[in-house]
Amino acid sequence: MPNQTEHGKAFEFACLKSLENIIATSGQGVKCQVKINETYKIANRFFDALPSQKHKDILLAASQQMARKLADLEPRLIYPVKGFNDIIDLEIQPDEKGIHGDVRDVLALRILLKSEKIGWEIGISCKHNHKAVKHQRISPRIDIGSQWLNSPSDIEYFNEITPVFTLIDSLRKSGTQKWLEVKNKDTSIYKPLLEAIKNQIERLDKSKGQSICSNFLAYLIGKNDFYKVVLEGKKDVSIQGFNFNGTLTQLADSHVPKHRVSVLKLPSKIYKIEFKDNSNNTIHIIMDEGWSISMRIHNASTRIENSLKLDVQLIGVPQTQYREILPLA
């Protein structure tokens, strides 16, 4: 069976093909061209390698619902616009873009006629059966302050995490090879590392103020406006609009979107950071403007190594955020 990454890549391919189809069949005179890069070829291979036609049909049904809804939300996807080329360029972005803060997997672009520059674009983050926004790592060498918050970590942070990673090193040197063999890792490894993260964010929040919140969310979600499309099980696909810069749901001359996606405010204040009830491996970060984040620490592989992963999810979003669940039928 395909793993999570392979399923995700296959879904990206299905989303691109459904966008291509909705543009081609709209009858509005707009055409599209697909960029056949290496990322596209990989996604195509994973889609073709799905174990059954039923798997493919589910991904296509979800992506077709997404494409129909996007055509309602984004009239520039299918209608001519004065001053713009009437060709939509579609592409699947390489994974390296995500490392640098661009979480969009599939892009639709339009070029300005006179300058040959990109005049309009929308992006989609495609998720298959998971809602995580980030899977960043923590290790003795990673400066989480600089990487996550755009402000360097202090010496206190490294002093707090060093004994934990020293313990991990000693386990490996003693012959322990797998995380399953480590007793009480929740209290001896996971909890102290999360406490160090919690303390560092609180110290930087106290010294730097609201920029820490906005920098953190920009790191997790990205600086570009986008739609997040999540295939949940085999019955529904959900769509969320992340519209920080006001670039979503623009007019196409006289054609207006059937629904406006509200502009969202970034947080400016952390209310509290606390451990999830009865948990040593998950913390919740509660911020203003309706934003809340869950961070769960876990071993990145079965074998013991000197880094761990964080599964980060949005557990609270502003009430004004556009979100809709569409049935596949």
Burial environment of residue 178 by CB neighbours within 10 A (0 to 12, 13 to 18, 19 or more): exposed
Q: What is the pLDDT of residue 100?
A: 63
Q: What is the pLDDT of residue 131?
A: 67
CA nearest 30: which of 66, 64, 81? 81
Q: What is the pLDDT of residue 6?
A: 85
Q: What is the pLDDT of residue 114?
A: 85
DSSP structure string for 71-130: HHH-GGGTS--TTB-SEEEEEEPPTHHHHTT---SEEEEEEBTTT-SEEEEEEEEEEES-
Backbone angles phi, psi at 102, to 5 degrees: -105, 105
Q: What is the pLDDT along the chain (329 residues), one digit of tens a residue?
A: 667 788 889 999 999 999 999 999 998 989 999 999 999 999 999 999 999 999 999 999 999 999 999 999 999 999 999 999 999 999 999 877 656 668 899 999 999 998 889 999 999 999 877 667 878 899 999 999 999 999 999 999 999 999 999 999 998 888 878 888 888 999 999 999 999 999 999 999 999 877 899 899 988 888 899 999 999 777 899 999 999 999 999 999 999 999 999 999 999 999 999 999 999 999 999 999 999 999 999 987 888 888 999 999 999 999 999 999 999 86
Q: Are 10 and 43 in contact (CB under 8 A)?
A: yes
* Sequence-ordered alpha helix ranges (H) in the chain: 4-24, 38-48, 53-73, 96-99, 144, 155-173, 185, 191-208, 210-221
Q: What is the CA radius of gyration of the chain?
A: 22
* Residue 326 neighbours by CB under 8 Å, 6+ apart: 65, 66, 69, 236, 237, 238, 239
Backbone angles phi, psi at 145, to 5 degrees: -60, -50
Residue 324: CB atoms within 10 Å: 13
| CA dist., res. 327 & res. 329, Å (int) | 6
Q: What is the pLDDT of residue 308?
A: 93
**Reported pTM:** 0.89
